[in-house]
Structure 1
Amino acid sequence: MAENQQYIDRCKLLIEEKLGWENSSSWQSQDFENLSEQIFVETNTIISSSTLKRIWGKVQYKSRPNISTLDALSRFIGYSNWRDFVKSLPGIDNPETLTSRPKKSIDYYRLFIIFGIVFFAVSFLLQMRSNKTLSFSNVKFQSEAVTDGVPNTVIFKYDASQSNADSVFIQQNWDDMRRKRVEKFHHEHASVYYLPGYYRAKLVLNDSIVKEHDVFIESEKWMGVLLRDSIPFYFPEEIYRHDNWLGITPEDLGRDLNIYNQDVHSFMLTHVNKELSVDSRSFSLSLNVQNTYDYPGAPCRQTEIVLLGTEGVIIIPLSSRGCIGDIKLRIGNLFMDGRSNDLSAFGVDFSSPVAVECSASSEKIKIKLNNELAYEGSFSNGIGNIVGIRIKFQGSGRLDSFKLGKVS
């Protein structure tokens, strides 16, 4: 495994660059679900989210990924297979030959010179940076929560374009581990808060805090929460609220621990047929969809409607309103991440079916939810002919009144 890890790490890095998401260290379960879906769409190969978590080191697993998995990952970044990817890496031998080649003696003198050059170069760059005085003007930083309670997405509006900062960060609270790098010339960033609290958000230019303000995430009443590595489990009130006290007993926790920590399965409805074929540049889709999984362990109830084209896909994301910071919209080659784009229009109330409409004509595409415009944009190239659809539910769900046809 160690002999091949450098190639796997390089492959992971190229995948992360292609996705353009946040650093993989902050990926959560839904991110790996989304990656699994994208790999399937582009390679027609299923790699489960649990396998992806193992490859990215989120789950301890000592075995090497099998060759079919590595082939699919390679195809996802534009190579024909794993061997083709490995051969493309400059200055690195094929891993099959690594164990058989003779070891070279170490040239300590040359190593010393290289380390010296690197040390002085790094020192020079650090000195140049320390001599650079931070300057800025007209910096803006404000935020607004999209709903009440938790989970809750806070959309930050910022402007650091009139500064000489090399790096711009938004920090959710006092903990600098919750600091996320954002694009200097962008103006939106969304963060999902899973716990109620009083937070002091900060705008950081290089290493300097230049703006900060309060973010107040309230809870209507006492909540019982089981803290987990990913999304917390929100206990039903009948579990933790008693006649004259609040809390749970060891028996409560022990009896249901596996239920609290289990992964939420995804359910998919799919239909692919050449008789469905309709030109994506002139089509109309309407359907009613409802995520019916009202379960404390999956408060986001994320749902995706995927239109499969012969030359690309359209992915319409839906979720509980408080989780819109974790969703992603895809229109052909256009990706919009909820962390850096305001996708609050795709936050819905799943207590009743959601009416979804998507149509394209005159090189434009529109998406409506419950008769309200959620997205409109250019769509000149299309995605070829639409030949299928998938509806993916986090948990359970239902579909009604599906219609797909040509715009009349």
Structure 2
Amino acid sequence: MVSEINELQRCKAVIEDKLGWGPADSWQTADFENLSELILNETGVSLSTSTLRRIWGRTEYHHLPSGTTLNTLARFAGAGDWRAFVKQNRVVVTEPDEELPLVVTSKNIRSWKKVAWIASAVVTVILVSMVAFDKGEPQLEKSAYTFDSRPVTRGIPNSVIFTYDATASPTDSVFIQQSWDDTRRVLVDKNLHKHTSVYYEPGSYKAKLVIGDQIVQEHKLLVGTDGWSGLIDQRKMPVYLKKEEFLRADGIGTSTKTIEQKNIALQPEPPLIKYFNVGNFEPVALSDFSFLTEIKNEYNEGAAACQLTYISLLTDDAPIVIPLSVKGCVSDLYLMSVDDYLSGKKADLSALGVDFSDWVRVSCAASGGKIRYSINDRQAFEFPVPNRPIKILGLAFGFRGTGSVRNISLQSGGKPVFEAL
């Protein structure tokens, strides 16, 4: 265990030197986001920003990363996999009185303090670390664990009561994770059976019971809304809008005056305003649906010049996310169609650059095994429908600053399921 921690520290140092971004202690959230994208580009494996922050000590977590994560880090550091990295970073044994440099494959590695080792001790440490890695974490019998949940009310915020049985765990490292985001992983007592968590946003989540670094049980959890819900995203807890503050006779939207009255500044960083309607209509099969709305971003002052906006169809799987901005900012957009993902850094998303001085008509529909996306009645993108049953459970809209939505329509098999304003 100790040797693997040491090797992980070395691997991080190699990566830091490769990046040349300065001390990792000074890295910001954007640096971890950039690192995540660089790792994906180079290895083909996605390590989330939250995982990277945990590895670099920004989030408290007392366990080694999974084997997949270690292999990915090692590949980004220049080795074939984690085992190869450990071997390549071995200590070189010379005469007992000589200093022993650390040999690494990556060029220009930062200077390490030279450490004197007794040859036999070095060999022992290397062998122990290799055996520990080869052995791996034993696979747990999932049937020995149970896990369920129940929201206490309808609407947000909403507490969820988790019921679990993890008494079979060989370790005290038992966690409940609220969703895909492993920063929402909480240590629980393996001998107890109840835990509660607050969900501040609605949506479809996949809650997980985790032993060590193994997911032993997981299930889908829907946190719905009571009709429409609106909020202003904030770091610790959202500021919730009253319905009369955003539901209008001609659509959905709030004013800058309402935001300022809640003591939230619009500059230098405009807040993200979100609107949700989740769990209030019959689930719609993704294989045969059509969706249409009109949307407008009404704030472009200062740092809101890009007028970043998104529309999301929330499913019991991954979501559909349609981003919009002014034409000059499409490089910062990310389009997601359940399993398919396009970054404006690597793809032409110019069709998602719009003129928000007038209403923008956005639609998507599935037929013939394809999901087609259109902006102002012109098809922009097409992706395959995933080959598994997926249902649309809710809608979400977001504006950096303020914006409005009107004429919302969701149909299934050509029949209306949900219409608003």
TM-score scaled by length of structure 1: 0.42
Q: TM-score, normalised by structure 2?
A: 0.41
Q: Which structure's relative contact order is higher, taking Cα pairs within 8 Å and 6+ residues apart?
A: 1
